[in-house]
Amino acid sequence: MMQITNFSLKSIAIVSHPQAPQADSEAARITAYLKKEGIKVEIGTLYDEKLRSEVEAGRFDAIIALGGDGTMLRVGHLCAPCGIPVLGINLGHFGFLMEVRQNQWMDVFPRLLEGDFWLEQRMMLCAELYHQENLLGKWEVLNEVVVGRGKAVRPVHLITHVDGRFLTTYVADALIAATATGSTAYAMAAGGPILPPELRNILLVPVAPHLSIDRAIMLSEGSNVSITVETSHQAMVCIDGQTPVDMENNDIVNVHASDHTAQFIRFQDPGYFYRNLTPHMNQNPSTGASR
């Protein structure tokens, strides 16, 4: 759930998306500010292997993510296994996961350095891909696992079991297994419910189901979901919007709660999610539209 924290920060890494607008200049400004306060700072991108290895070794007290929600997802994947909290500064469009606007960070950094913030705990999933009982891949998931068709505009059959018991066979473009975090992403676009971020549930949402169950199903944290692809054409599995991995007929994706939890630094009160929800719903800034 959520916990209040007051520990001090001595070492911070700033991680940015290499294509994020103004990321370099903003990282330089933040670095100068933090170093004046006696904080050790390192800067790198999502693809900086040296910085990633230092994060994985637990050498930082916190990570500042510069970018959009995609950057926050990637940094969350990196930091969750080592228990390092993440502060998101929005340089992107939507910013559902981000805490601070680009022009706002100087107002809240005194609170950051004083430990005047709380940690939001967000459940993650673990996804495993099997081909003929051979494990082909294993991933940590913050938003969603999508199992579905490939380039061919033809549905696939997705034979779905929960805790070893047959649930249904979806005939659909895809099946989404999402966290509460992911409920405001692809799952929402597919008609699923919006869940508050502290919930620890697995949400199943079919995409364009044809003559099969078309309602979302919310499962408990302890559930184990098994999705078997039955198809004569291309299928794939996609983790948090990353490059899809091809699947073959009878390949299986297993999904269950991860042992790791993403921790986001928050300055707003815990009711921020509902307060920010309406503005996000009324306008998608990625379209460039304004009101």
Catalytic residues: 69
Dist CA 82 CA 101 (whole Å): 26
Helices and strands, number each (H, E), in the chain? 6, 18
Dist CA 169 CA 261 (whole Å): 31
Dist CA 86 CA 58 (whole Å): 13
Strand spans (E) along the chain:
2-5, 11-16, 40-45, 62-67, 86-90, 100-101, 117-131, 134-141, 144-149, 156-162, 165-172, 174-178, 201-207, 217-220, 224-230, 235-239, 245-247, 252-266
